[in-house]
Each structure stands twice: as C-alpha cells, then as structure tokens.
A and B are shown apart, each in its own frame.
Chain A
Amino acid sequence: MNGREQGGAIIKYRVYVYVWGSLIILTGLTLTAAALEFGGLSIIINILIASVKASLVVWLFMHLKYESRLFKVMLLLAMTTLTVIILLTFSDVLFR
C-alpha cells in the first residue's frame, strides 16, 4: 500500500476558503432572515439555511465528496433513522 493512495484527493486551500466564505455569507443571510420576521416561515427558512451550511461542511470540509459510497450510504442511514424518529414523535405530539 503506498501513501499516495490513502485518503484520495487533497482538496485545494482555495476551495476551503470558498466554502468558508459561503458559510459566512449564509450566516449573514440567516441573520437577515431572522431580522425580517417572516413569522412561522422564519424557522423553516433558518433550518433550510442551516442545512445548506451543514451540507457544505460535510461534503467538503469533512471530505465526504471523496469518500467511497459506503460512507455516503452510512450517513444516509443515520439521517433516515433520525427523520423516522422525528416523524413518529410528531405524529404523536401533533395529533394527541
């Protein structure tokens, strides 16, 4: 096994700086969205923005883009589990 094969591609610093810039801009966006007071829509917008930010971190900072399919499937599995738990809980709480 040679060292070069391990870990796949090395992401360029420039890409990391772009990701960082996007995360800062999205933080500004979420602050603006909160200040505009969309009422009930506000929390949905903020969760959407947070999810975009989290995806950027997972995909590039955490290198998932370059991992094998198994890693991606595992993440999907964890997310599905949490979604099922959330849906089941709310199906109880909301219609009690």
Chain B
Amino acid sequence: MEAERTEHLNQEQQRDYTGSKMGMWLFLYTEFLLFGGLFLLYSVYRTRYVEQFHTAAATLDTVLGAVNTVVLITSSLTMAVSVSAIRKGDRKLSVSALFLTILFGCGFLVIKFFEWKAKIAHGLFPGALEMFELPQGEVIFYSLYYVITGMHGLHVLVGVVVLLGMLTLLMRKKINEKDFIKLENTGLYWHLVDIVWIYLFPFFYLLT
C-alpha cells in the first residue's frame, strides 16, 4: 500500500503537463518553418512563371483536392472531439472519434494515391521524358507539387501511425482523464498537418 502510494507520488512528480505541451509546440514551430520555407520557394517561382504555373495548375483535379480538404477538416473535428471526450472521462466516444480520425487520415492518403497515379500515368513526374518537353515554369510547378504534397503526405502517414499507437494506449487505459497529454500532443500535430493542407490547397489547386 505504502509502496504503491510512493510510486503514485513519483509518477505525479515526473509528469510535467505544461512542459510536454510546450515541447510539442516548439516542434510544431520547426514544422511551420519547414513548410514555410517550401511555400516561400513556391512563391518565388510563381512570381517568375505566373502564366506557366496557371497552365500547370489547371491540370490538377480540383474536385479531388476539395474532397481531401473536407476529409482533413473533418478528421480535425473528430481529433478535437476525441481529446475533449477523454478529458471528460468518456472513453467510448474518445476511442470512436480517434478511430474515425484514423479512417479519415487513411481516406486522405488513398485519394492522394489515385491523384498521383493519374498524374504519373500522364508522364508528369520528376525525371519523366515528357517533362523535358514542357516549359521550365511547368516543370518547376510539378516538381514543387510533388515535393510539397509528398512532404505533407508523409506527415499524414506518420500521423496515422502515431494515432494508431494512441488508439492502443487509449484502449489499454494508459491514456485516461488524468493523463491525456500524449493524445493531446498527437492532436496538436494532426491539426498542424491540417493547417498545412489548408494553405496547400489554394496554392496548387485553385490557381485560376
């Protein structure tokens, strides 16, 4: 009994809620600057090749892009609900909301896969022979499209894997209404991925 109490106290002392969250935010700022740098690269080339960027952007599938926007926004909603639910002690809702978030994340990746597949089938990928015949600006547009959506897709993929880990912890009650920082931090990361897409969508799909 005494040993259990001491252990409990130790656990309380070792947990630094604000510190954990601040660490996550600091990491998110580095991510923010990483994607910021990529968007800067995009902006510089866009001012140089306005017309060619527009021609190339017109070949992207706006409908698929819009669907993916809705999918990610909705996954952000279920993520936020999952965190709130566990804090209220509603494990069942938290688990189902997190499960939905993972499903939406996978859905996003599946749609992205078909989008890339269609582009690659048209010979539009870095290093393809067809690309050499295109004007410089269009080549740069497609390269940036692959780098930025690829980097974002990688973040979604990592997010899904981490979310799966959180789902296991949640079901094993390692994440509960007293100790939910892991889930909350994962949520912060997931929302950041959503924000990147919020900017990515108009930059690539809505150039008219």
Contact = CB atoms under 8 A, between A and B. Distances in A.
Interface of A: 1, 3, 6-7, 10-13, 16-17, 19-20, 23-24, 27, 30-31, 33-35, 37, 42-43, 46-47, 49-50, 53-54, 57-58, 60-63, 67-68, 70-71, 74-75, 77-79, 81-82, 85-86, 89-90, 93-94
Contacts of A57: 76, 191, 194-195, 198
A7 B192 CA distance: 19
A57 B44 CA distance: 27
Secondary structure at the A interface, as helix, strand, loop or mixed, is: helix
B113 interface: no
Contact of A10 (B43, B66, B73, B88): B88
Given A13-B81, A82-B32, A31 B206 contact: yes
Given A24-B73, A34-B208, A62-B191, A54 B81 contact: no
Contacts, number: 124
A49 B29 CA distance: 21
B73 A49 contact: no
Contacts of B149: none
B77 interface: yes
B47 interface: yes
A76 to B, nearest CB: 11
Interface string B61-93: 010001001100110110111001001100000
25 contacts: A7-B180, A7-B184, A10-B87, A13-B81, A20-B73, A20-B74, A23-B73, A31-B66, A47-B202, A50-B201, A50-B202, A53-B195, A53-B198, A54-B198, A57-B191, A57-B198, A61-B191, A62-B192, A74-B26, A82-B32, A85-B40, A86-B36, A86-B43, A90-B43, A90-B47
B73 A78 contact: no
